[in-house]
Structure 1
Amino acid sequence: MAPNGTKRRKLAHSSDENSSQAPAKTQKAFFKNAASWDLEQDYESRPRKGKKKQQVVKESNRLPTKNVDGRIEVLRELENEIDSDEDWLEGREDDVEEVEQVEEKTVKEVDERSEQEQILEAQEELAKLAMAVNENPEDNVGAFKQLGKIGSSKIPAIKILALMTQMTVYKDIIPGYRIRPLGEDSGKEKLSKEVRQLRHYEQSVVMGYQAYVKELTKCARLQPFAYGGHGPNVVSAAVTCACTLLTSVPHFNFRSDIIKILVGKLSRRYMDANSKKCLEALETLFRDDEEGRPSMEAVALLAKMMRAKEYQVHESVLNLFLALRLLSEFAGTASHDSVQRTEKASKKKRDFRTKRERKDVKEQKALDKDLQQADALVSHEERERMQSETLKLVFATYFRVLKARVPQLMGAVLEGLAKYAHLINQDFFGDLLEALKDLIRYSDKDANGDNEDEEQQQQQEEDEDEEDDDTVRNLTRESLLCTVTAYALLAGQDAHNSRNTLHLDLSFFTNHLYSALLALSTDPTLENTKPTGVTSTTSKINVQTTTVLLLRSLTAVLLPSWNIRSVPPTRLAAFSKQLASAALQLPEKSCQGVLALLNDVAHTHGKKIGSLWNTEERKGDGKYNPVSGNLEGSNPFAATVWEGELLRKHYSPKVREGLKMLEKSMSN
C-alpha cells in the first residue's frame, strides 16, 4: 500500500505546483489589460432588464464526482425563473423593429432571386424532358404531364418557354396518322406486349396533346393586363404555336380546336401581328391540303364566324377562299345550296363479264379498299364530296355578302366570283346577274349622292371605324369587277351554249362600261399600285390596279374567249372610238395598254371597224354622241378616229410606237 500512497502524494504535489503557477500568470495578464478597459461604456451598452431573476437552488440527484485535484464535489443546479411576457419584452422593442425590417428586406430579395432561379430551373427541366422524349418517347410518356405542369406556372417567361417547348416536342413525335380512340372492348382483347405498349403510348400522346391544345386556347384569349401586363406576349406565343401545329400536323387529332383559335383571331375589323400569322397559316393549309377535310372544316368555321359577326370582318379573311386548292381541281358546278356533278365514265355501257370475272373484280375492289384504309388514303368519292361541301359554303358566303352589300367586302366577293365563275351552276346565273346589276345601281347612287340616308349611314360607319383605313369603298372598282364577273360567268363550263335558253342579257354591263370610260380616263388613281380599300401588307390578292381591271373588262366585252367572232360591229366601233378619245387623257402605261388592246381588236375585227380610220368608207349618217347612255344610240360610224393625229405627237416613244402598230394593222 505504501508505494501507491507515495505515488499519490507525488501526483498531488505536482498538481499543486501547476495550480499555483497558473493564478500568477492570470493575475499578471489581468492587471496588464485592465488599463484599457472602458467600464462605463460597457455598462451603457449592456441591455436593460426589468426585474431580477430569482434563483432557486434545487438539489441534484446526480452522484458525487471527483475533480482533477482529487476533491469530491456535490453538483447543485440553479433553476432560473422564466421571465413574464412583459419582463421579456421590456427594453427589446427597438431590437424587434430592427429585426422585422431586416426580415422584410430579406423576403423581397429572396422573391426576386427566386423568380430568376425558377426560370433557370424551368429551362433546365424543360430541356431535360424534351431531350428525353426525343430520344425515346415510348419510355418517357410521363414527360407529357410534367411539361404541362411546368406550363401552368404564373410566371410569363416560364409559360412561354413551356408552350414553345411542348409545340416542338409534339411536332416531332406526332405520327403520320390520326389516333383513334379505344373502344369499350379494348381491355378484353388479347394483345401482345408490344401492341399494348404502343396503345398506351398513343393514348398518352393524345391526352397530353389535348391538354396542351386546351392550354393554347386559354392563353390565346388572355386579356392584355394578364400576367402583370405580359398578356400580349403569352397570346402571341400561343398563336404562333397553334399556327405551326396546324401547318405541320393538320392530320392529327383536335384539328378543329386549333382552327377555332385562328378563326377567333380573324373576327375583328383590324389586322394585327397575330391575325397576319393566322392568315398565313390558313392560306398554307388551303394550298397544301390534298385530303380536303381540313379545308372544309376551316371554311365552315370561317363562314360561321363571318355570319355571326354580320360580315364585319377584314377583306383579307374573305380573300382566303381564293387560296383553296380543291376548288381549282373540282369538276362539277354548284350554287349556294346545291351541287351538280359531271357524269362519270363509269356510267358507260358495261362490258360483259363471266361469273368468275365478276367475283375476281369484287375481290380486287375489297383488297384495294383495305389497302387504302391501311395507307390512310382518301377515296375519290370522299374527296369529291368534301369539295362539294366546301364549294357550297364558299358560294353561300359570297351570295350573302353580295346581298347584304357590305362595303369593305364587295371587291373580295366579286374577285372570288370572277375566279370561280366556271364552278357556278348555270341555273343560278340569272339570280346572280340580277344581284350584280343591283350592286352597280346602288354604286351609282352612292357616287352621285342621290341617297342621303345611305350617305349618312356610310359616314357614320366611317366615323366609327376611323382606325381602319381599309373600309373606304371604291365604287369604280366594284363596277369593273361586276362587269368582269358577269362576262366570266359565260366563259366557263360551256355556259355560252345555254345563254339563249337562260335568256342572259349582258347589255346592261356593256352600256355601263361604255359610259364610264371617259370618267375613268381622268381618274388620278388609275395606276396606283395600292388601290383604295386594299392594303397590300395584309392582302396579297385582289390588288390589281384600276387599269388592269379596265383592260380585263374591255377584253371580255370586245374579245370574248367563248365566241370571239360574234361581237356586233356597233359595239366594236363605239368602244374603239371611245377608247381613242380616252387615250388622250390616260397616263403613259395605261395609254400603252389601251393601244395594245385596240391593236388586237383591229387584228381580229379590222374589216368591221375599218371605216373609222378611212373616211371614204364612212357608213353612218347623223351625229356622233359620245355621252349617250346607250351604246347603240351613240352612232359610232358617224365619227372618225382623229385622235391618232394627236397621239402621233405624244411625248412617250412607246405610245408613238403603239400607234404606228395600230395604224399598220388597220391598213392591212
Structure 2
Amino acid sequence: MPHGRPAKRRRLTPPIDDSKTDETIQSKDLFHRAADWDLEQEYETRSRQKKVKESNRLPIKDVEGRLEEVAQVGGQESADESDSFLGSGSEDEHDDVETPPTDATETAPAIPLKLQLIQAQEEIARLAGLINEDPEEHAGSFKKLAQVAGENAHPSIKKLVLASQAAVYKDTVPGYRIRAYKDEDMGTKVSKDVRRTRQYEHSLVTNYQSYVRHLVNLCKGRDKEDEQLKTTALNCVCSLLLTIPHFNFRTELLGVLVQELGKKEPSAHFQKCIETIGKFFDQDEDGGPALEAVSLITKMMKAKNYDFREEVLNTFFHLRLLSQLSVKSSMNRSDRVEDVEKLHGKRAKKEKFQHRSKKDRKLAKERKAVEKDMREADAAVDYESREKMQSETLKIVFVTYFRILKASIPHLMGAVLEGLAKFAHLINQDFFGDILEALKDIIRQAEATEDEDETDANQQRDRMRECLLAIQTAFTLLSQQDAAKSASALHLDLSFFTSHVYKTLYVAGTDADIELGPKSLHLPDPHAAQLSKRDNKVNVSTPVLLLTRALSAILLTPSSPPTTQVVAAFYKRLLTITLHTPEKSTKALVALMGRIVDKHGRKLEALWYSDERKGDGVFRSDGDTVEGTRVFAVGSGVWEEELLRHHYVPEISEQVRALDKVIAGLGK
C-alpha cells in the first residue's frame, strides 16, 4: 500500500461522550468503547415499512360500472435506508426515518361475470371432451367437473355445471346397473383390465351418487334465492329419469318428483312432474321401474290421507299393464305364457328323474348362480318376471282405487271410476260383486242427498255425474272378459242401475250444463295461468256422453237383450227429453234412437200404431220405474216426433224422418 494520507473512515456510531470536542478519536479509545455498541438491536428497532405516497388520482369506473380508487405506489427507498446499520447520522436521524404502519392494502380486481362464464364454459368443454374421449382414462374428470362451480360461484355458473353434468352422465352411463364394490372386492387380485374397469365403475357410481344427492338437496331448498337452481335441478332429475331409468339411485330421483306431487298447493314445477311420470310409465317395458314409482306414489297418497290433486291419480292411466305389453317371439322360440309353462314343465320333469352325481349337482348350482349374476348385469327381464311385476303393480293400483272408493272422496271419484272401467278386463270376477255393491252405495248416497236438499246446484250436478260414472263402470265391468255371459252364474243383477238411469233421464235432459265437463268453464278465466291444453283426457267426459254410453250398454248389449217394455219406455222418454236438450246433445240422442230403432224396431212398432198396444190403465209420463210408466197404455204415442220434424236444425229433422221410414218399412 503506498504511503500517503490514510483513507477517511466512516463513523459507525455516534460518540458516547458529547462533552468531547475532538474531531479524532484515538484507537485505544475506539476499541475501549466498542463494548457499548449494540448494532443488532438498533437494526431490529428500525422500521422496515416503506413509505406510501397518498394517491391524488381520480377514481375510475370498471366494466361492471363500479367506482374503484387507483393506488399509487411510492418510490424506492434510498440506498442509505436500505443499508440499515451502515447508515450515517445520529439517533435523531433514525427516529425521523421511522414511519408508522398504514392500513392501505391493495385489492385484487374483480373478474367480470361475462368473463367468468366464458372461463367456466371452456373448462366444462375441456373436461367433457376428456370424458367423452376415454372415460376410463379420465375418471377423475367427473369430480373436477363438479368442482368448477365453487361455493361462492355465481348462480349462472352453478346452473351451467348442473346441466353439463346431466348431459355427461347421460352419455357415459352404461346400459346396465352397477353394483357397489366393497373394500375386499377392490383389494382382490385380478387382471389389470378388470381392475381398471372396477376403478372406473367405482368412480362413476361415487361421483354420480354425489351429483344425485346435490340435486335432491337443491330440490328440497325453500329459499327464494335458490328457486332458479331448484328449477334447473328438477329439470335435470326429470331428464335423468327419462333417459337412464335403469341406472343406480333411481329411488332418490323418483322421491324428488313424488315430493312435488304431494304438495296441496301445486307449485310451478307440478305440471312438469306430472308429465315426467306419465312419460316414465309410457316408456317402461320391464315393469320394475313402474312398480317402484307406483309404490312410492301410493305411499305418499296414504300418508296424505288421500288428500291430493286428481292429476296425480290420473298418472296411473299411463301404466302398461299385462295385456298392453307386447309379447316377444322369434322363429325358433316363443315367449307366450302357454309355451313357457310347457317348456318349464318339461324341464322340471326331466330334471326330477335324471340321476346326477354330487359333483354334477355342485356344478349345476354354481352355474345357476353365475346365470343369475349375468341376468342382473345384463338387465334382461324375462316374460315371467315381467308379468309378476306387472301383476304386483296392478294389485297396488286396485287397492288404492278401492280405498278411495270406500272413503268416497268427492274430487277423486271420477278418476277412480274411470280407472276401474279402463282396467275392468284385468279385474278378477270374484271381486265383481263387491265392486258393484260399492257402486250401488254411491248411487244410494246421491239419492239420499237429493231427497234431503242439503246441497246446492253444483254439488247436485257432481252427484249426478258420479252416478253416471258408476253406472258406466258397472256395465263396463260386465262387458269385459266374457263376464256378461257368466252374469247369471255370478248372480249379478244390474236392474238397480237400469232403474236409476231411467229415473234420472228427465233431470239430465233439463240440465243446462249437460254439454260441459267437470273442468269446463262458461267463459275462459283470464287470471287462470295454468289453464292449458291437457294431454290427459281423464275425467273430462260430458254428462250427455256418459248418458249415451250408459243407454248403449243397457239397450244395445248383444249378450243381455232388454225386454220390449224396457226398450219402449226408454225410447219414449228419450223422445221427450230431446225437445229440451241443446243442439249437439239432441243430435247425439237422435242418433242413438236411430240405432235403437234399427235393432229393436219390432218391439217399438206398437208406439206408432195404437191398434197393436196391449196395456192396462193410463200412461204416466212421470213414473219412476219402467213398470209404473205403462208405456203401452192409453195416452202414449210418439207425438214428439211431429215437433222434431220441424226442428230448427235441418239435420235433426232429417234424422227423425228417417226413423219414420224405418218403422214404416217394417209394416210392409
Q: TM-score range by the shorter chain?
A: 0.7 to 0.9
Q: Is the contact made by 2:237 and 2:253 (CA closer than 8 Å) also made in structure 1?
A: yes
1:205 to 1:627, Cα distance in 2 relative to 1, 3 A: farther
CA distance in 1: counterparts of 2:543 and 2:191, whole angstroms: 69
CA distance in 2: counterparts of 1:501 and 1:343, whole angstroms: 27
Deviation at 1:489, TM superposition (A): 1.2
Structure 1 residue 545 corresponds to structure 2 residue 542: yes
1:614 to 1:537, Cα distance in 2 relative to 1, 3 A: same
When normalised by structure 1's length, the TM-score is 0.74
Query: What letter is aligned with 1:386?
Result: M
Comparing both structures, which one devotes a greater share of its residues to helix?
1
Point out the more displaced range, 208-217 or 264-273: 264-273
The equivalent of 2:392 in structure 1 is 389
Structure 1 residue 212 corresponds to structure 2 residue 215: no
Deviation at 1:119, TM superposition (A): 3.8
The equivalent of 1:483 in structure 2 is 471
Point out the more displaced range, 617-626 or 394-403: 617-626
Structure 1 residue 427 corresponds to structure 2 residue 418: no
Measured against aligned partners, the alpha-carbon deviations of 1:75-97 in whole angstroms (never above 9, x if no partner) come to 94455333699x959xxxxxx8x
CA distance in 2: counterparts of 1:355 and 1:134, whole angstroms: 51
Measured against aligned partners, the alpha-carbon deviations of 1:467-513 in whole angstroms (never above 9, x if no partner) come to xxxx9982222111100001111111222233224322222221111
Q: Secondary structure at the match of 2:147?
A: helix
Q: Is the contact made by 1:293 and 1:386 (CA closer than 8 Å) also made in structure 2?
A: yes
Point out the more displaced range, 291-300 or 233-242: 233-242
Query: What letter is aligned with 1:433?
Result: L
Query: What letter is aligned with 1:443?
Result: A
The equivalent of 2:255 in structure 1 is 260
CA distance in 2: counterparts of 1:508 and 1:353, whole angstroms: 51
The equivalent of 1:506 in structure 2 is 494
Structure 1 residue 609 corresponds to structure 2 residue 604: yes
The equivalent of 1:148 in structure 2 is 146
Measured against aligned partners, the alpha-carbon deviations of 1:43-66 in whole angstroms (never above 9, x if no partner) come to xx9xxxxxxxxxx9xx9998xxxx
Point out the more displaced range, 420-429 or 441-450: 441-450
CA distance in 2: counterparts of 1:385 and 1:584, whole angstroms: 54
The equivalent of 2:511 in structure 1 is 523
Point out the more displaced range, 404-413 or 630-639: 630-639
CA distance in 1: counterparts of 2:351 and 2:430, whole angstroms: 46
Q: 1:559 aligns with which of 556, 559, 573?
A: 556
Q: Secondary structure at the match of 2:617?
A: coil
Structure 1 residue 589 corresponds to structure 2 residue 584: yes
The equivalent of 2:264 in structure 1 is 269
Q: 1:398 aligns with which of 401, 409, 416?
A: 401
Query: What letter is aligned with 1:521?
Result: G
CA distance in 1: counterparts of 2:460 and 2:631, whole angstroms: 37
Query: What letter is aligned with 1:428?
Result: F
1:407 to 1:283, Cα distance in 2 relative to 1, 3 A: same
The equivalent of 1:50 in structure 2 is none
1:368 to 1:358, Cα distance in 2 relative to 1, 3 A: farther
The equivalent of 1:71 in structure 2 is none
Deviation at 1:532, TM superposition (A): 4.9
When normalised by structure 2's length, the TM-score is 0.74
1:369 to 1:308, Cα distance in 2 relative to 1, 3 A: closer
Query: What letter is aligned with 1:208?
Result: N
Query: What letter is aligned with 1:283?
Result: G
Q: Secondary structure at the match of 2:236?
A: helix
1:472 to 1:204, Cα distance in 2 relative to 1, 3 A: farther
Q: 2:300 aligns with which of 295, 305, 328?
A: 305
1:216 to 1:599, Cα distance in 2 relative to 1, 3 A: same
For residues 43-62 of structure 1, the aligned pairs below 5 Å read none
Q: Is the contact made by 2:127 and 2:141 (CA closer than 8 Å) also made in structure 1?
A: yes
Q: Secondary structure at the match of 1:495?
A: coil
Q: Secondary structure at the match of 1:378?
A: coil
Q: Is the contact made by 1:627 and 1:634 (CA closer than 8 Å) also made in structure 2?
A: yes
Q: Is the contact made by 1:408 and 1:472 (CA closer than 8 Å) also made in structure 2?
A: no
The equivalent of 2:659 in structure 1 is 662
Q: Is the contact made by 1:316 and 1:538 (CA closer than 8 Å) also made in structure 2?
A: no
Deviation at 1:522, TM superposition (A): 2.0
For residues 339-350 of structure 1, the aligned pairs below 5 Å read 346=341
Deviation at 1:619, TM superposition (A): 2.2
1:493 to 1:387, Cα distance in 2 relative to 1, 3 A: same
Q: Is the contact made by 2:178 and 2:205 (CA closer than 8 Å) also made in structure 1?
A: yes
Identity, in percent, stands at: 42
Deviation at 1:536, TM superposition (A): 6.3
1:632 to 1:379, Cα distance in 2 relative to 1, 3 A: same
Q: Is the contact made by 1:415 and 1:485 (CA closer than 8 Å) also made in structure 2?
A: yes
The equivalent of 2:94 in structure 1 is 81
Structure 1 residue 642 corresponds to structure 2 residue 635: no
Count matched residues.
553
Measured against aligned partners, the alpha-carbon deviations of 1:555-601 in whole angstroms (never above 9, x if no partner) come to 1111125x05x222222111111111111111222111111111111
CA distance in 1: counterparts of 2:462 and 2:520, whole angstroms: 6
Deviation at 1:233, TM superposition (A): 1.3
CA distance in 2: counterparts of 1:192 and 1:550, whole angstroms: 72
CA distance in 2: counterparts of 1:197 and 1:322, whole angstroms: 45
For residues 303-382 of structure 1, the aligned pairs below 5 Å read 303-329=298-324, 346=341, 375-382=378-385
Measured against aligned partners, the alpha-carbon deviations of 1:411-437 in whole angstroms (never above 9, x if no partner) come to 111110111112112221222112112
CA distance in 1: counterparts of 2:169 and 2:134, whole angstroms: 13
